[in-house]
Structure 1
Amino acid sequence: MTVVPPSRRPVLLVAVLCSLAFLLLAEGKVHHHTWDIEYRYKSPDCFEKLAVTINGEFPGPTIRATQGDTVVVTVNNHLETENTGIHWHGIRQRGSPWADGTVGVTQCPILPGETFTYRFVVDRAGTYFYHAHYGMQRVAGLDGMIVVSVPDGVAEPFAYDEEHTVLLMDWWHKSVYEQAVGLAQDPLVFVGEPQSLLINGRGSFNCGASAALPTLFTAVPGKTYRLQIGSLTSLSALNFEIEGHTMTVVEADGYYVSPVVVKSLFVYSGETYSVLVKADQDPSRNYWAASHVVGRERKTPSAVAVLRYHAGNDPRTPPPTAPPAGPVWNDTAARVQQSRSFVALPGGHVEPPPAKSDRTLLLLNTQNRIGDRVKWAINGVSLKFPATPYLVSMKRGLKGAYDQRPPADTYDYKNYNITSPAAANGTVASAAYRLALGSVVDVVLQNTAALNKKSETHPWHLHGHDFWVLGYGDGKFDPEEDAARFNVRDPVMKNTVALHPMGWTAIRFRADNPGVWLFHCHIEAHVYMGMGVVFEEGVDKVGRLPKSIMGCGRST
């Protein structure tokens, strides 16, 4: 054993303390937020109704942090008669699966009058969200953006002068309760089209000519702006554009992409993009920014805002032109083409995918009558969240808390007619896929016609992971032919991806994050009606569960 001489011990102690300080700094800062969640009367589109707010704000405040920082959010539920839970969309929760915020999967709900604290590390720079993940509560608000910057000294592969967030939403005047009751009854009463679209929490519903137009941002001629755009719509697929300006897409869901110049950007619920916009137009006037519904017959007015040039223009003065009309709502080919245009930025910015997978799941999306209700189902199973969160029951071995029979890995793809699925078929269950920890999994999502003979766009979001988008296709996926055309050279990585009408989408991910994770359609009505699956991987490797996530459902 080496003995340190007394004269050297103070020097050694200082060295150790300096090293510890360096490590603490290297781990990043800790950002503390305290949020009071409550209903307030709001008029985001000139129609007053109740909205779920954060400290009185709607939408909620933007969380800003640097890669490697820790975010701590203390949530006080003041909703009086309503539970809640908050999901940190795009944050992978490595080492903290209990902080994912998905009620029924990773935690019990936060009851009225209770306080719950989320603590997690933001381990990737990029643009993300937070939003309610209890029932259909997101329809009523409780959402916002998360912007994670690169560490000091790290250069991004593009340059800009300023950045601004653009949060896109849709908005109903019916309450969450009215919508949920309609979906659960027989005959089904669908939520209908939203009354308005919102840009950064502002929209228009019979506002009148005197209403002030919202300002997107104020531009200085010659400067380049990074817009961090995200959609938290509950139903609508959107197209976003800025009159007279092109946008260069440089980031998707936190990953750099090869730059793509677009006149307008298709954005699906749960997706985020960074685009670069140069203020290179006539600075003596203002310009429209607009958000339009696509993928559904356009019955909701477009949302508009004003891009104001900093040249003495009055921000209240509308542009001299008519607002952009947007693309035709049913041009599926244009939307698929844009989805296919995004690939990973070369130069080591995105990890290449494994050459092959260990397991393939072919997931058939169907709308069915199950019993006396209309449901959405995956391979014939409509997901029902158990009373005991999966993470709790699986970690504690409570096998009676959820359905033990695993869902099917595939369906009869050779004989199945995706244009005319069986109207009455399937079951309601709380089953889960058990994935080998560290395995590589391919998932192929297959779209079909719904009971109304129409096929919709379904944006699918995976909790706890990012995935490689291997490809999109029309019609029915054929494993023998279509898998050979997967893009394994430079696929973009994302956490949310569109499943286009009457087509398929293929993704690949590593099941390397111990926990239990939801994979679901990000349309609120669809996941409420069962359109999702649950993945478990390495739950035995998860550390001691916090008591705060327990207390509901079964204990034995």
Structure 2
Amino acid sequence: MVSVKGLFTAGALVGSALAETHVYNWTAAWGTANLDGYERPVITCNGEFPWPDVIVNKGDRIIVHLNNGFDDRNTSLHFHGLFQHGTNQMDGPEMVTQCPIPIGHSMTYNFTVPDQHGSYWYHSHTGGQYMDGMRGVVIIEDDEGYPYKQGIDYNETATLTFMEWYHDTADVLIPDFLNLYNPTGAEPIPNNFLMNNTKNMTWEVEPDTTYLLRLVNMGAFVSYWFFIEGHNMTVVEVDGVPVEKYETDKIYITVAQRYTVLITTKDDTSKNYAIMQLVDDG
């Protein structure tokens, strides 16, 4: 019994030593960007847009120093889908697990991801700010525990994000939506629909190659049917949870949902194939 315990302890120490710490220093502030032919205010990260992806390994520590660089509002940060076991105070919703971050102040989000892998995202949890661009993808890799392996089940990885886009900011949209004179709860009408923060997205792929494709809906209201002309997909993960393989030709993805699929490209390079983001207008 003593020797077994010693082996387990040694293994735990080795695992802990291999974990990394990822430190991010972010300042949220207003800037401008043109995503669809119309320049409008957006929320930038350190003066740049879009916000960066966070890619870590299971067991790693994430430290985000978030500075409020606005001159007119509070802010916060939520890591959508992460359990935050033992670190509930890092979850992000203002007036629920934390006070909002005031103008000119900062907060450090510090937590590990010990028991999850897959596709997630982060966003502000204050006043509709993620509608104005304060959002990004979180990927937790796990070479040992994830059931689908690179080199066996797939060759390459890629990510597609979806969002509707408005030419007005959330400051205009939300009061109109949550209004006595909008009794049916009619949602704002988007000016455009984006993939990977553009309306003219091109995904360059290799022929006869299997991709692990992460799909993330980072929008506010709109759900989509997603499909790629002439290609089937095999669903392998839903909202960060690996599932048994399921083949389909289209996927319905709602707000905040994440799907991960395997898709094999054609060996014929004589034509391009449409990537479809069909809006559910029902």
TM-score of the aligned structures, taking structure 2 as reference length:
0.89
2:141 maps to which residue? 149
Cα pair distance change 1:44/1:68, threshold 3 Å: same
Question: Where does structure 2 lack aligned partners over 5 or more consecutive residues?
Answer: 1-9
Cα pair distance change 1:57/1:264, threshold 3 Å: farther
- Is 1:56 the counterpart of 2:47? The answer is yes
* Letter matched to residue 97 of structure 2: T
Cα pair distance change 1:187/1:162, threshold 3 Å: same
* Letter matched to residue 187 of structure 1: Y
SS at match of 1:215: coil
Instruction: Quote the offset at 1:135 in angstroms.
Output: 1.9
Cα pair distance change 1:220/1:121, threshold 3 Å: same
Instruction: Quote the offset at 1:57 in angstroms.
Output: 3.6
Task: String of CA shifts for 1:507-548, please: whole Å, max 9, x gaps.
Answer: xxxxxxxxxxxxxxxxxxxxxxxxxxxxxxxxxxxxxxxxxx
What RMSD in Å do the two structures reach over aligned CA positions? 1.9
Instruction: Find the partner of 2:121 among 129, 145, 158.
Output: 129
Kindly report which structure 2 residues correspond to 1:465-544, keeping only aligned pairs within 5 A, or say none.
Answer: none
Cα pair distance change 1:154/1:107, threshold 3 Å: closer
Instruction: Quote the offset at 1:72 in angstroms.
Output: 0.5
SS at match of 1:274: strand
Report which structure shows greater RCO (CA 8 Å, sep ≥6).
2
Q: Is the 8 A contact 2:223 2:253 kept in 1?
A: yes
1:273 maps to which residue? 259
Q: Is the 8 A contact 1:179 1:191 kept in 2?
A: no
SS at match of 1:88: strand
Kindly report which structure 2 residues correspond to 1:212-231, keeping only aligned pairs within 5 A, or say none.
Answer: 213-216=200-203, 218-231=204-217
Query: Identical aligned pairs, as a percentage?
Result: 30
Instruction: Find the partner of 2:17 among 18, 25, 45.
Output: 25
Instruction: Quote the offset at 1:105 in angstroms.
Output: 0.4
Instruction: Find the partner of 2:189 among 174, 186, 193.
Output: 193
Q: Is the 8 A contact 1:144 1:167 kept in 2?
A: no
Question: Where does structure 1 lack aligned partners over 5 or more consecutive residues?
Answer: 1-17, 204-212, 297-329, 331-556
1:42 maps to which residue? 33
* Letter matched to residue 163 of structure 2: M
Instruction: Find the partner of 1:237 among 213, 220, 223.
Output: 223
Instruction: Quote the offset at 1:55 in angstroms.
Output: 2.4
Instruction: Quote the offset at 1:20 in angstroms.
Output: 9.1
* Letter matched to residue 265 of structure 1: I
Cα pair distance change 1:254/1:48, threshold 3 Å: same
* Letter matched to residue 170 of structure 2: V
Q: Is the 8 A contact 1:162 1:226 kept in 2?
A: yes
Q: Number of aligned pairs? A: 267
| In 2, Cα distance between equivalents of 1:121 and 1:157 | 23
Q: Is the 8 A contact 2:177 2:188 kept in 1?
A: no
Cα pair distance change 1:155/1:256, threshold 3 Å: closer
Instruction: Quote the offset at 1:157 in angstroms.
Output: 3.3
Q: Is the 8 A contact 1:182 1:191 kept in 2?
A: no
* Letter matched to residue 89 of structure 2: W
- Is 1:180 the counterpart of 2:167? The answer is no
1:171 maps to which residue? 165
Instruction: Quote the offset at 1:154 in angstroms.
Output: 4.4
Instruction: Find the partner of 1:110 among 71, 96, 101.
Output: 101
SS at match of 1:61: coil
Q: Is the 8 A contact 1:62 1:146 kept in 2?
A: yes
